[in-house]
Structure 1
């Protein structure tokens, strides 16, 4: 009983700590979601171990009579498959053609794997995986932001007063020695905005900070809104 309580509590704590960072950022899945996913995964492995023990002890006569055999790894495999549906629900494509929720979905999947390891009693892997996941979610975003800010590629969401002004904006971009890799213009007036908008993928031939590029684009005539995505 002591081992059972320890494993379930450890699964809850590790899952909750992983989800705490996502909850602070108001992501679709947060503290309680991660906690429940890890707890459920650990419970699944414990159930498989329980069935394996019972089939080899108390239920031996029944097993011999019906010839039933079980593989405890099959139950854990279903957790990995099932978590995909939960993770897919957190992935969204916004009106700016921006995909969000991938990190949340990946975190849920990793949390489920940690829960499976806790349930199996593989504590060395549990603490190592928890530390690495924590590094990915808390420390690496700072490094990622630095690399993106100084990178040669930038994706820009723009809103402007009229579609006709797009030509002069594109002409200015080319004059600044920027390469236009892709452009997606939305002419219809949707519910999210009353202005025409576009998503531009640009390559900066000269290294410069993205904030400077965005500030220069925002100062152009006809530009109503400007964001990096």
Structure 2
């Protein structure tokens, strides 16, 4: 354990965490580039500290103690990315699992298990980035979708809901609130929708996005 080794491991943590976080950032997930990098750095630093303590105290400390705490402690961060809609539909589990996997990768880097960290990074990236396209295709063919929409007024929200229903789309879940937005003038709408086979998934979302009163729209997978 020397200065070069510490810098190398923390640099790898930044790069590998950034690779995974970049894919989540592009998808506009709650935990993006910076979050994944910080998780990876934190896990790496915890393992480096654990190894350092073992050497300082001549093996009188458990070399796996801090690592075990990281694996269990990362749960509080993952929990912040998970939401439950009105019908108890859970969203955000993939992001939470990605953070947990990123922490495990950081522990491998911190322990100097470079081959495991590199292979782990490739596999995690493949699941979160490469398989995202397959996931999108499956969701596009799905008749049930969940949208989070920000509109600029209550009148706009009412008008938007009426327009959606006129497109032969059934609203199965709806939650309206302005508690989670930065401006009190904005209204957040969480919608669970069931579209008919005559309605194109992509065209429907595009038509909603292009409305003047819609400030932001995200499809929640």
Q: TM-score range by the shorter chain?
A: 0.5 to 0.7
TM-score (norm 2): 0.64
Matched residue SS, 1:151? coil
Q: CA deviation at 1:182?
A: 0.4
Matches within 5 A, 1:21-170: 21=19, 22=21, 25=25, 27=32, 29=34, 33-34=38-39, 36-47=41-52, 49-50=54-55, 54-55=58-59, 70-85=61-76, 87=77, 91=81, 103=95, 106-156=97-147, 157=149, 159=151, 161=155, 165=159, 168-169=162-163
Segments of 5+ residues of structure 1 without an aligned counterpart are 56-68, 94-98
Q: Confirm whether residue 227 of structure 1 aligns to residue 217 of structure 2.
A: yes
Q: Is the 8 A contact 2:10 2:45 kept in 1?
A: no
TM-score by length of 1: 0.62
Check whether the contact 1:41–1:113 (CA below 8 A) recurs between aligned residues.
no
Partner SS, residue 64 of structure 2: helix
Say what the alpha-carbon RMSD is for the aligned residues.
Answer: 4.3
- Tell me the secondary structure at the aligned position of residue 192 of structure 1: coil
- C-alpha distance in 2, partners of 1:116/1:219? 44
Aligned length in residues: 201
State whether residues 117 and 126 of structure 1, in contact with CA within 8 Å, keep that contact through their aligned partners in structure 2. Answer: yes
The answer to whether structure 1 residue 172 and structure 2 residue 166 are counterparts is yes
TM superposition shift of 1:128 = 1.9
Aligned to 1:63: none
Unaligned stretches of 5+ in structure 2?
27-31, 84-90
Q: Tell me, yes or no, if the aligned pair for 1:41 and 1:112 is still in contact at 8 Å.
A: no
Q: Secondary structure of 2:44's partner?
A: helix
| SS of residue in 1 equivalent to 2:34 | coil
1:131-160 deviation line (CA, Å, top 9, x unaligned):
112223432333333333332222232636
